[in-house]
Amino acid sequence: MRPPPFQAFLDGHREEVYRFLTGFVGPHDVDDAFQETFLSALRAYPSLRNETNLKSWVLTIAYRKAMDSHRGRGRRAVPVEDLPEQPSRGSHAEDHALWDLVQALPGKQRAAVVQRYAVGLPYKEIGAILDCTEEAARQNVREALKKLKEMMS
């Protein structure tokens, strides 16, 4: 069985990929990372094998683009008018603060916790995306949660 037409694939995975990238790279870089992810996917789509797990495949691409974005962030200047405003008080502010802490995690831990809690992936798929074992994916999530608790106290 051939993969679906690319537009159907895009429509079926756009929200998950966007959620993952928002959690990983933040609101300022998400659109660029999203576009880069699906451009890469479009280029490679014609050569996919029939048995390819499309969800894991595209989230692997997204993870790589997110890592590229994260590495490049330190080399880019941010105009003062683009700096984020302080979040308002209440649960939105708490959510914003939590995602700021997630952004401070090491790459694999950040990716694992975002894929687990923002995208809802099982550890086996997280391991495939991060190119590690299922147990290593679990360990990355455990370590990320431990660091987040430490940062919050």
Residues 85-134: tens digit of each pLDDT: 444 444 455 666 777 788 889 889 998 998 888 888 899 999 988 899 99
- Cβ atoms 14, 57 nearer than 8 A: no
Handedness of CA 130, 56, 73, 43 (dihedral sign): positive
The pLDDT value given to residue 100:
78
Give the domain ranges of the chain.
6-152
Q: Which pLDDT band holds residue 10 (cuts at 50, 70, 90)?
A: very high
Whether the per-residue pLDDT at 43 is higher than 80: the answer is yes
Architecture of domain 6-152: Up-down Bundle (1.20)
Residue 42 CA to residue 37 CA, distance in Å, equals 9
Whether the per-residue pLDDT at 143 is higher than 90: the answer is yes
The pLDDT value given to residue 73:
56
Q: What is the mean pLDDT of the chain?
A: 82
